[in-house]
Amino acid sequence: MAIERTLSIIKPDGVKRNLIGQILSRFEAAGLTIVAGRLQQLSRAEAEGFYAVHKARPFFKDLVDFMISGPVFISVLEGEGAIAKNRDLMGATNPKEAAAGTIRADFAESIDANTVHGSDAPETAAVEVAYFFRSIEICG
Ligand code: IDP
Ligand code: MG
């Protein structure tokens, strides 16, 4: 399997509950390396741009409101099959459907406050990483 990079975001509910360390530990224990990362308070425009693919969905405004409700921790994870591996660690979008032992099953409160974002495919990973990080900010 190829070495990939994927974008991870610990959403405001995770940052507020001091879960950054626990979540990053899960990534590292699974063999993913954090090659870039920072805390950031997103502006409305930045959150809308990031989630532009969901613009027409009924939950778009709630999603953006939630993503700007506090700081997020944005990182780039690198490793073998990093995109799928991160999605496996995250669990299903709706925490009620997330498999036991996943981040969302263990920590998420609702489908809105579901603690983490992760890129879902190589194309979106490339776009999402570049949305938040310049190449010189990634230490891979
Ligand atoms: P993902 O985060 O698992 O990739 P997406 O379908 O890409 O899920 O949706 C992006 C985010 O939008 C989700 O993480 C969730 O916070 C929110 N979302 C998705 N579907 C719904 C919904 O049906 N109601 C409310 N929020 C939703
Ligand atoms: Mg998604």
Rounded Cα distance, 13 and 70, in Å: 8
pTM for the model stands at: 0.98
Instruction: Determine the angle formed by the axes of helices 20-29 and 82-90, rounding to 10 degrees.
Output: 130
Task: Express each pLDDT in 59-80 by its tens digit.
Answer: 999 999 999 999 999 999 999 9
54 catalytic? Reply is: no
Task: Express each pLDDT in 70-128 by its tens digit.
Answer: 999 999 999 999 999 999 999 999 999 999 999 999 999 999 999 999 999 999 999 99
Using the predicted structure, report yes or no on whether residue 24 has a pLDDT greater than 90. Answer: yes
Query: How many whole angstroms from 98 Cα to the centroid of ligand 1?
Result: 13
Which residue of 63, 83, 89 sits with most ligand 1 atoms within 8 Å of its CB, as the best mutation to test the pocket?
Answer: 63
